[in-house]
Amino acid sequence: MSWLIKSSIGRKFVQSISGLFMILFLLFHMSMNLVLIFNYETYDFIANEILGANWWAIVGTGVIALGFVVHIIYAIYLTLQNKKARGVNRYASSSKTPVAWSSKNMFVLGLFILIFLFLHLYQFWYQMQFKELFHIEGARPDGAQLVVEMFSQVWVVILYVFAFVALWFHLTHGFWSAIHTVGWNNTVWMKRIKVVGNIISTLICLGFVVVALAVHFGFSNILG
């Protein structure tokens, strides 16, 4: 355990594993949101009956929160360490291969996504699960309607689209970096894994964007 904390490789490994965990969560979250396109009642059933303030949902929320915290702490620490080690030439490289924009701006992208996350949690999680859990007045059992109300506002849709674009850049580089760190970086599979990572990242972000636009323009709940 101390190796994961003190070793540079250990810290990168923990950050990578937590990042891959976040990708799995985003896949689940995006898939759940896609239900909004087809039926609001089904979405409410998932959000309230399956998830909601049930103990397994609370435990899951805690695990997800822990994963985010670990990922953020390690990201900040590694960024500061890299900046200190490389100084003003932190992106200099002996290779002629240009450094990707997303690679140079991973911390900025992550910071923007973190700020967006706080807004997202307040708009949805706080209004639904948190208020229900602590018996706060105004809890929303009608999650689908809450989503409709939020995405009826143009500024919310625009902000979400920008956030998911930022998330795409963060995920495409982060997925490749995580796979590289855990050691799955042989010359045969690395390019293929990178393509798979790009596809998964694109599906996640595109799914979120499609839901936001579909709800805003009234193309959701087609089976309702």
3-class secondary structure, 167: helix
pLDDT digits (tens, 9 = 90+) for 25-70: 999 999 999 999 999 999 999 998 888 888 888 898 898 888 888 8
Residue 76 within a domain: yes
d(Cα 122, Cα 185) in Å, to the nearest integer?
39
Residue 93 within a domain: no
Per-residue confidence band for 98, with pLDDT thresholds at 50, 70 and 90: low
| pTM for this entry | 0.82
Residue 93 has pLDDT above 50, yes or no: no
Residue 50 within a domain: yes
The average pLDDT across 85-109 equals 62
Tell me which DSSP letter residue 26 carries: H
Per-residue confidence band for 165, with pLDDT thresholds at 50, 70 and 90: very high
Residue 63 within a domain: yes
The average pLDDT across 167-187 equals 71
Q: What is the model's pLDDT at position 64?
A: 87
Higher-confidence residue of 191 and 89: namely: 191
Q: What is the model's pLDDT at position 13?
A: 63
Range of the domain at 22: 2-88+105-216
d(Cα 204, Cα 211) in Å, to the nearest integer?
11
Residue 142 within a domain: yes
Q: What CATH number is associated with residue 152?
A: 1.20.1300.10
Residue 168 within a domain: yes
Residue 82 within a domain: yes
Residue 96 within a domain: no
- As for how many domains the chain has, the answer is 1
How buried is residue 203: exposed, middle or buried, by Cβ count under 10 Å (0-12/13-18/19+)?
middle
